[in-house]
Structures are given as C-alpha cells and as structure tokens.
Structure 1
Amino acid sequence: MAGSSLQASKPMNVKEISAKAEDFDFNPSIAIKYWLRTADTLLREARIYEQEDNDQQAFLLLMRYATLIAYKLPSHPLAREPENRAGLRAADKTLPFVLDQLELLKPRIEARYNSWQKAMERRREANTAIENDRLNSRSQIDLAATDPAVAGNPTTLGAAENSDLAVQLAHNEIRRRETKRRAIQQGSISAEGEKERRTAGQWGGWEAALSKGDQSHYDDEMRRNMEASRRRLDGPQDFAPGPGERRLPKPPRPARPFARDGNGEYRYPSIQKSQPLQYDDTFESSRTSSPGIKLPPKPPKERFEGPMHISPPSLPDKIPSENQDVSASKLPATNFTFRPSAYLENGNPLRTVFLPPTLRLRFLEVAESNTRNNLETCGMLCGTLISNALFISKLVIPEQESTSDTCETINESAFFDYCAAEDLMVLGWIHTHPTQTCFMSSRDLHTHCGYQIMMPESIAIVCAPSKTPAWGVFRLTDPPGMQSVLNCHKTGLFHPHEEPNVYTHALRPGHVCEAEGLKFDVVDLRPR
C-alpha cells in the first residue's frame, strides 16, 4: 500500500479560517430548534477533529458554532418567545468553554502557519525552484487551500486507491473508541456522570429546556452572556484562555432533521456557503504534533426525467510523490487525512463516505417479509468520522409503519437514544421500493433534504429488488437541487419539482466508495 502526499497548499492562518467559518447563510425563517440541531452537528464533528489534532478544521467548526450561538440566534425574530428562551440560554452557556477551546487552538494554528512562512523564506533565499513543488494543477491547489481539513497537511490520501488502509484504520479506531466508551460505562464514573462532566451540565438539556420555557431572569442573563461572548469573539487575538487544555464536550443526541410547520409547509435550515481563498505559493509543510427522525409520509413515486449525474471537479486518484509503505497497524488515524473524493456543484468539498458493499444485501434480507407484502422498509445509516472520512458502521432499523408507497418512523426517541449511547452520527438512510423502479420520489427528496442540510455528505440508498437497476446511491445537487427543494412548500403528496437535475448519483465517481471488508452491525429496534 502506498501513501500519496498532497503538496499543493499552504496551511491557513486564524484570520483566514475565521472568515471562512463566518461565511454561511442564516435564514431567520427557520425554526430555532433546527438551528440548535445544526449546532449539535457542528460540535460533534469539531470534537472528533480536535481529538485527531486537525486543528484547522476543529477551529472552523467551533468558530462557526460560536458565531451561530452568539450572533445569529439572538437576532432570530422568535428568540424572545417563551418556548425558545430557555433552549437558547442552555446553548449560550456552552460559549465560554467553546471560546476557551478556540484560544487553545489559535497558537497551534499560527505556529504552524508561521513555520511555513519561515520555511518559504529560507527556500527563496536558497533560490530553490518552487515550481518543482507544483505537483498539481492550479484548480487543485485552490480547492485544497479553501478546505481547512486538508490545507497544509503533508499526508493526504485518496479514498478509492487506499480503501484497504481505510478499512484497517476504521476497524482500529472504532475498536479503540468502543473500548474507551465501555471503560467509562463500567468504571467508577457512570455514563450519565461522564455526560454531565463532559458537557458541564449545560448543553445536554437544551431540548428539555425548550419545552419548559423558564423565563426567570432570562433577559438580563442572556444579554450579559451574549455581550461577554461577543467581546471575546471581537476582541484581541491574544486574550487569556481558560485554565488548562480541555477536550470538546460530547454533544447531545440529535433530533428530527426537519418537519412541517403549523401551516403544513416544510422548513429546513439554510445552506452554508463559502468563498474560495486563493494562494500563489505552494509548499509541503511538516505536520507538527500538538501537546426521532419522524419522516413525513412518502407519496406514490413520481417519475424523474432527465440526467441524474453531474460530474463534479475532483482530485486525481494519486498525486506524484515519494511513495512509502503505510500500515494502519503502525500509524494511528491522526497520521492520515483522506482528501475529498468529490465536490458539490458549487465547488465545496465532499468528504468520502465509506460504504460496506454487503450492507444493501443485508438490508434486503431484513426487509424481505415487507417486500413480499408490497410494503416499504427503511433503515438508518449510522457511523463515525475518522481522518476526514465518514465510515458507515451501523445499519439501524427503527420502529416504523409502512404502506406500499410510504414508510414512517415511530418512537424516534429510541433511535436517538441508541445513537447517543453509541456516539453515532446519522450519515443517511436506505429504503425499499417493493414494486417500483429505483429513483427518488418527491417525498424522498424532501426527506433527504433534511439529512443533507445537516451534513452535505448524507446519502440516500434506494433498493428496487424487482427492477433494473436494483439499487442506487443518491444525493441532492447543490445547486440546483437543494435550493429547489428548500424553496418548495407544496403540501400535496403528488408534486413534481421543476428543476430537471434535482438529484444525482453519489457512488463513485461520486463521494461514496464501497470498501471491501468494512464491518458493520445491524441493529433492529422494532418490537419483536
């Protein structure tokens, strides 16, 4: 197995990452509870990147989180409503910890950037031909430079040609995390005590707080906290951090990604956008070590006409470099970063999603009895983030009610309790079309939009066992698919979308890669 180094871009400094983090759309028509769930996702991913010493990406996610909580949500038109006040206050209490963590990351990011700058100066003084290091095209340099998860990383691997290594890394890391989690559960600290300790008793109860709506002293306290947080965000770069270095807290369980509002219309969080940062120089820097989803019913399937695949810009499978043997048994996950394997139509990177090749067949076995009776079946694709790639490790079958054209989950709290206990991320969903062809219906598109808003890499797998093709892996295009579905507020079961290219294939050459040998478990939460 050979590793390949991406030498195309320099590391980013704090100012550049901050500008990128703050560049996202905030839509005040979206309910506050959905923005809080988006914050959950940001904090969960930041925690993993921070544990893997990917300081740049952890900083970006934490800064975006702080901007959302400190600046955007207080300006929401419904922020002062009783049902929202306590939830916002619970989120606000996490800001001091997040700001402390940002300050701990800043010197490491700046030290790496300054080291790169000094090395470039030495190289210029020695009249070294920088062009010799330009191993990639200009477009590849620009793409890497705008992605803090990859920029400046000396060891970035292509997903497809290194899938065997990816599987080894995933098995080792998942086993390590499982061992740690079970040690906590079996040790002197109970699981609830660990959750309380890691969240400082402040963030995990925001959903319950939303329902309580406690208003006592809320306005004064919220105003003081917001002003203090804003001063810290807007203040000098060198203000003193909190005592000691701390790891990020484990975020609370996620909640339903979307739902209808009181008028029967669908509401989703807005899409994040970014502006490219351009660099003129290149350098191979050295890595320095650092001390319930209740889905709405789906209608009978609408026919989809028109092309379904748009080829996004992508990096080559391998970049010329000095090859070396790499082994997952010798090096931890933090020694590797999987570079994006595809890009959205707007140019934003998509992390690789590693999919077990046998998962679809196992799901069809679970769904067999329903399929025989012309009933749909759905399952949730769950997994984790490792080395800037997403690994599906669990197929979870939630409680559900089915018809020939619909499948609704019920008792979603059991599903989210399971995900929280296992520290799982929801990476997409899978469902059957017992008698129809393999395509995404209008209801499927609305369903999937809720997943892809939270995580752009989320996928939808459709299984049509009686037809050809028998299955497909899809995502919404962005643009125009995401915008078309986000702006669609039709409530009827049969409503076409005007855009012809609303969704596209996600399996390679998209961002989804089947990884032979990748282990997964099937967890059936349906009552026996």
Structure 2
Amino acid sequence: MAGSSFQAERPMSIREITAKAQDFEFSESIPPKYWLRTGETLLREAQIYEREQNDQQAYMLLMRYTNLIAEKLPTHSTYKQPENRAGVKAAVKTLREVMTTMEVLKPQIDARYNAYMEKNQHSSIAVDNDGSRASTWANFAASDPAVAGNTTTLDAEENSQLAVKIAHKEIRRRDAARRAVRQAGVSEREERQRRTAGLWDHWDSGLSRDGASASRDDDEMRRNMEASRRRMDGSHDIVPDAVRRTQVNPRPAPERNGTSDYRYPSITRSQPVRYEDDFESRSRSISPPRPLPPKPPKERFGEVYQPEPPPRPHPNERFGEVYEPEPPPLPGKDSLHPIEHPIEASMSDPKATFTFRPSAYLENGNPLRTIFLPPTLRTEFLRYAESNTRRNLETCGMLCGTVISNAIFIQQVVIPEQENTSDTCEMINESAFFDYVDSQENAMVLGWIHTHPTQTCFMSSRDLHTHCAYQIMIPESIAIVCAPSKNPSWGVFRLTDPPGMQCVRACTKPGIFHPHEESNIYTDALRPGHVFEAEGLEFTIVDLRPDS
C-alpha cells in the first residue's frame, strides 16, 4: 500500500519538546474556567499517550499543562476571583503528580534521543528516496512529538478501515479494563477522582473555608507554582526542592509493562513492519517446493527391469499433451482466505502499536490529528432534532470521543439541556453535561453539531464565537452544521489559525449576526482537511434533555 507507512526517524530532545509545549497563545479574553477545562483535557490526552507509550507526546502535554497552570493562569486578571478559586486550587494540587510523571518519562526520552544521535552523529541531511532534501511533511513531522522518532506511522486516508478496527479493538479493551475495575470494588466516582486527580471535585466546598485554612492553601499553591516555574526554567533533571519537600509518598516509577496504582496495562512498542520478510514467509507456506520424483527401483540380479505402465489418460487430456492437474488456488482476492495486509495482520500481535500521522496542518504550520467521523452520525442526529426542525428551532449536540494511536475518533453525540430559538441554541445546566462526560473513560469534547432549520449551511457570528472555545481546548475541534432544507445540506468547519482564531478572540461586538474584519475566518475541515468519514465506525447518541 503505497504511502501507508512513513518513518519520522529522529526522536526529539527534552529541550525541543519543552519549547513545543510552551508554544501556545494564552489570552485573557478567555475566562479561567475555560482554561481550567483545557487543562483537564491536556491531562486526559497525556494519560492516553502515556498508556500507549508515546512518551514524547505525553511529556509535551504534561509540560504544557504545567506551564498553563503555574505560569499563564496566574497572570489572568480574574484569576483570584472567588468563582475561580476552588478550581485553581484543585488544578495546582495536581502539579506534584504531573511533575513526578514527567520525571519518569524523561530518562526514556533522553535514552532514545541519545542513542539515535550517537548512532547518526556522522549522518548527512535526511533525503527522500529520489535523493532530494527531506519533504515538507518530513520537516513538519520532525517537530511533532506525537510522530517524531516513532517506528512506523500510517496514513489516515489509505488506512481508514484499519483505523476503525484499531479503534473498536482498543475501545473493547478499555471497556474490559473498566469492568475489571468495577469488579474490584472501585466505584465510578472514585475512579473519576483518581483518573482526573480531583481536578473538578469539591468546587463548592472549597468556597466555604475559614481564613486560616485559606491562608494555608494560598501558601501551598504558591509553593507548588514556584516549584513548577523553577522546574520549567531549569535543566529538567530533578524534581524541584519545594515539590520534593511536600511529597510524603512520591509515586514510584512504574514498570512499563507492569501495573501500578490504578494504571491500565501498557503495550510494548512495535517493531518495524518488514514487508519483504512477511511476504516471503507467506509465499513459502503457500507454495512449498515440489518433491523430486522417486528414483526407479534398482534392478535385481538376473531380472529384467520392467517400468510401471503409464497412467491412463485423463478424460480432459488432449492427444500429445501431458496432463498437469491444476494446482489449488492461491489465497487472494477471489479466495475464501484472502491475503491479509501485513499491517492489519500484525494487529493480532498484542505488542503491536500504531501511530497515525497528521493529515493536515493549521495555517501556522501546527499539525492537526486526523478525526474519524461516522458517516451516518448527522442523519441520526437529525432524527433527534426533527421535532425542533419542524418548529423552526435549532438543535445542538456535543461531539465526544477519544484519542487512539494519535487519531481522534468521534464515538458519541451528547444532546444537553438547551434553550432553542430559530437562530440560536444555548446549552443550559452545563454541570450535568460535564458530569456525564467526566464519567466516561478518556472521553473528550471534540466540537459540536447543530441545525439551521431554514438557513443555509454556514457559520454565523454566534457560531464562530461558540466554536472558538472548543478549538482553544483542542485545536482539531470541529463544528458540523446541518441545513436539511438547503444545498449543501451539511458541512464540517474549523476556524483558521491565523487569522480566524485571533479575530474571534479579539471581537467584542454584540449581537447574533455581526460582521468580522477578516474574510478568511473559517474553512472546511472535511477532506482534504483533517476530518475523514470512516465506514463502520460505531457511535451512540445520548439525549440529556429532560423531555426526551
């Protein structure tokens, strides 16, 4: 399969990953509660990449989280307001655990980078097969921690069906692990607390502390943030002294293939797929060499050797021709046992891992992971929206899913409680929606879908401002617009970056429909963008509306 695999050979150094982690734009126009939700998303993604043993990407996400909570967020003008205090405190409490995890990942990243540099210290500039300089994609890949140095990366477009199989297999594995946790007596609430390190727990109770308790909390928060700042400014070699002093029982370094406290089993890195060896072994098993004909028996002394008479001719044998029976058909396209693609065949190996490379890039050059979208998702969602559509009311749903092998799979549409008009759709009772999302293992909000009952398929000013919050949390986030009475009847969009994200964040104009100065403010995300429809991808729709 041409182009199905590619190796971005050189791994990244800690210094390069750290620079990548700190390269994001922090804006005061975004309220702290959205930045805290972004932080939780970073932790969830990091947990997935760590479990898949993608150490570089896990380290980058954890470093970005540390930078956000310890460096950026305290500069926000509303950082110390009472409604933000409990959320900030809960986030700061996670810094010690986050940095301990980074210290576990760092030696593995250093070892891989140093081994590569020692092996290739005399190598020349990377070249393509034709001898030219490395391609633009390869240059981008070399600066993407999710793919740089990985053994084999896959192209999403050419391997969409393989992606579906990988997703279903991994989702089943996670479900089995979750059932095992339940059987061990761990409640759903306790699981959520352990998984998210308590980031969103006890917000209300945190607001009712007495003065002395608040002062102690402030001191602890200050020490943790100062330690984090020194950690990021230093050489990344040790846990900061302020953090070490507060660690009563620091977490031991987990064994990569073992189990530690509430960690799912990890999977060993795969070896490069060797097409030649695989096909040679298959050809040997399919077409074994023909045995030599037996030698005629030796002539006994005094006897005349009489050869056996030739076999009777086969009914289909033509005169003068030697009949050769047809060999059994080789496994292939028209066989009951088709030849399996080597990459797909390796899925049966429990140690095999896969990494999908980015399928598109933002306007600023940052990679966009592939989003796999079920093709029937929008038509199923329109069935739930039908009653509103008949009354000329918009309906919205949230797109939820997870990261698997550096690709994003949309698994669910969650329809929250909402207030609807002909031009707007506003989610109400946000806490119920986020409680549901938090109860789903590794689930993330990946965008939204909404209807335009009588309008065309486009992004209104209100839509753009709504979507900006999603795209800040996850750059790949998408907005699906369904206009069932128009042509085109649907579209998948994202804000450009730049100039769309910057324009919307800076916009303070009121009203549902208002103009923006930039014309290139949003763009299509469906192919040739980063969104691919994947036949057979399973999904569900969950309706949280009380009257549903």
Question: TM > 0.5 between the two?
Answer: yes
Give the corresponding residue for 1:154. Answer: 151
Q: Which whole-Å CA distance do the structure 2 matches of 1:134 and 1:338 have between them? A: 25
Change (3 A) 1:346 1:3: closer
Report if aligned partners of 1:382, 1:426 keep a CA contact under 8 Å in 2: yes
Change (3 A) 1:357 1:139: same
CA offsets, 1:406-450, max 9 Å, x none? 222222322222211113211111111111111111111111111
Q: TM-score, normalised by structure 1?
A: 0.80
Give the corresponding residue for 2:5. Answer: 5
Gaps of 5+ in 1: 251-286, 291-319
Report if aligned partners of 1:7, 1:133 keep a CA contact under 8 Å in 2: no
Give the corresponding residue for 2:343. Answer: 326
The answer to whether 1:145 aligns with 2:142 is: yes
> Which residue, 465, 468, 475 being the options, matches 1:456?
475
The answer to whether 1:355 aligns with 2:373 is: yes
Report if aligned partners of 2:52, 2:405 keep a CA contact under 8 Å in 1: yes
> Which residue, 181, 184, 207 being the options, matches 2:181?
184
Change (3 A) 1:60 1:507: same
2:149 partner letter: G
Give the corresponding residue for 1:302. Answer: none
Report which stretch shifted further, 1-10 or 389-398.
1-10
Give the corresponding residue for 2:220. Answer: 221
Q: Secondary structure at the match of 1:217?
A: helix
Q: Secondary structure at the match of 1:416?
A: helix
Give the corresponding residue for 1:284. Answer: none
Q: Secondary structure at the match of 1:379?
A: strand
Q: Percent identity?
A: 63
Report if aligned partners of 2:127, 2:133 keep a CA contact under 8 Å in 1: no
Q: TM-score, normalised by structure 2?
A: 0.77
Give the corresponding residue for 1:490. Answer: 509
Report if aligned partners of 1:9, 1:144 keep a CA contact under 8 Å in 2: no
Q: Secondary structure at the match of 2:5?
A: coil
Q: Which whole-Å CA distance do the structure 1 matches of 2:260 and 2:156 have between them? A: 27
Q: Which whole-Å CA distance do the structure 2 matches of 1:84 and 1:213 have between them? A: 14
Give the corresponding residue for 1:315. Answer: none
Change (3 A) 1:463 1:75: closer
Change (3 A) 1:204 1:129: closer
1:236 deviates by 4.3
Report if aligned partners of 2:372, 2:531 keep a CA contact under 8 Å in 1: yes
Relative contact order, higher structure (CA 8 A, sep 6+) = 1
Change (3 A) 1:60 1:118: same
Report if aligned partners of 1:160, 1:513 keep a CA contact under 8 Å in 2: yes
Give the corresponding residue for 1:114. Answer: 114
Give the corresponding residue for 2:199. Answer: 203
Report if aligned partners of 2:192, 2:438 keep a CA contact under 8 Å in 1: no
1:505 partner letter: D
1:133 deviates by 8.8
Counterparts of residues 17-416 of structure 1 (less than 5 Å): 17-121=17-121, 124=123, 137-199=134-196, 202-205=198-201, 207-208=203-204, 211-212=207-208, 215-239=214-238, 242-245=250-253, 289=269, 325-327=342-344, 329-331=347-349, 335-416=353-434
CA offsets, 1:344-373, max 9 Å, x none? 111111100000011111111222222222
Change (3 A) 1:365 1:63: same
Change (3 A) 1:118 1:525: same
Q: Which whole-Å CA distance do the structure 2 matches of 1:230 and 1:347 have between them? A: 28
Report if aligned partners of 1:52, 1:334 keep a CA contact under 8 Å in 2: no
Gaps of 5+ in 2: 245-249, 279-340
The answer to whether 1:513 aligns with 2:532 is: yes
Q: Which whole-Å CA distance do the structure 1 matches of 2:230 and 2:261 have between them? A: 23
Give the corresponding residue for 1:300. Answer: none
Q: Which whole-Å CA distance do the structure 2 matches of 1:130 and 1:433 have between them? A: 49
Q: Secondary structure at the match of 1:62?
A: helix
Change (3 A) 1:362 1:128: closer
Report which stretch shifted further, 143-152 or 215-224.
215-224
CA offsets, 1:299-319, max 9 Å, x none? xxxxxxxxxxxxxxxxxxxxx
Give the corresponding residue for 2:284. Answer: none
Q: Which whole-Å CA distance do the structure 2 matches of 1:64 and 1:203 have between them? A: 16
1:185 partner letter: R
Report if aligned partners of 1:474, 1:504 keep a CA contact under 8 Å in 2: yes
Give the corresponding residue for 1:254. Answer: none
1:486 deviates by 0.9
Change (3 A) 1:329 1:130: closer
Change (3 A) 1:81 1:447: closer
1:94 deviates by 1.0
Q: Which whole-Å CA distance do the structure 2 matches of 1:151 and 1:375 have between them? A: 47
